[in-house]
Structure 1
Amino acid sequence: MDRNRITGAARQTVGRLKDAAGYVTNDSTLRAEGLYDEAVGYGTRVLGQARDHAADLADDAYETGRQLYGQGIRQLQRGAKDHPLALVVAAGIAGAAIAWMLSQPRR
């Protein structure tokens, strides 16, 4: 649990207590403060939850990307092993294309 979730829950609880005290004493100002504190506490708690979920999603995306990168590298290695001449020709064509693009005058 992070700080936002803890402080949000605490402020929400304080807000409920203020609201209840304002209801018992018939003090509309205290009730309004309680409702405000409860709403801010709820928002802060939800912010903490959203941050936790975002961090989890980022971790999952990183792990998935790492796995896919590994699969891609293995596929490239397998292709280079099976067809080394095609790899040399493709590298030559790519190099020639880059050299041609760099040698063109800029407009």
Structure 2
Amino acid sequence: MDTQRITGAARQMGGRLRRVAGDSGYRARQSAEDVYDEALDLGARAMRQARGHAAHLADDALEAGQALYGRSSAALSRQAGEHPLVLIAAAALTGAAIAWLLSSSSQRR
């Protein structure tokens, strides 16, 4: 009788331990899933913020490039207006250089 009581108590204790272990395993899994979901949300939020910052940087770079292009075009126009002979000479030299390059490449063939 004592053996049966001890065996029954051990089985009952084992069942309780299994239930406690199952509950704690479920809670641990649920906690891990919650942490995973939170990390996923944080990552998505960081991605959206980075994308927004990159778009702002690209817009700023475009505006700066357009402003620089406008200033350089104005400066070139002003210089061409002040020194038209230099502009004509530069264009003639550029044309001569291109003609020389094209003629030398056709002679090699």
TM (norm. structure 2) is 0.72
The equivalent of 1:82 in structure 2 is: 82
The CA deviation string for residues 25-59 of structure 1, in whole angstroms up to 9 with x for no partner, is: 85001000000001111000000000000000000
The equivalent of 1:36 in structure 2 is: 36
Q: Specify the code of the residue in structure 2 equivalent to 1:94.
A: T
What's the offset of the Cα at 1:103? 1.1
The equivalent of 2:60 in structure 1 is: 60
The equivalent of 1:103 in structure 2 is: 103
Q: How many residue pairs get matched?
A: 83
Q: Specify the code of the residue in structure 1 equivalent to 2:42.
A: Y
- Unaligned stretches of 5+ residues in structure 1: 1-24
The equivalent of 1:12 in structure 2 is: none
Q: CA RMSD in A?
A: 1.4
Q: Which has the higher Rg, Structure 1 or Structure 2?
A: 2
Q: Specify the code of the residue in structure 1 equivalent to 2:86.
A: A
Q: Which has the higher helix share?
A: 2
Counting aligned pairs with the same residue, the percent is: 52
Which runs of structure 1 show a deviation greater than 4 angstroms over 4 or more consecutive aligned residues? none
What's the offset of the Cα at 1:104? 1.2
Distance, in Å, in 2 between the alignment partners of 1:54 and 1:45 is 14
Bigger relative CO (Cα 8 Å, ≥ 6 apart) = 1
Distance, in Å, in 2 between the alignment partners of 1:99 and 1:41 is 62
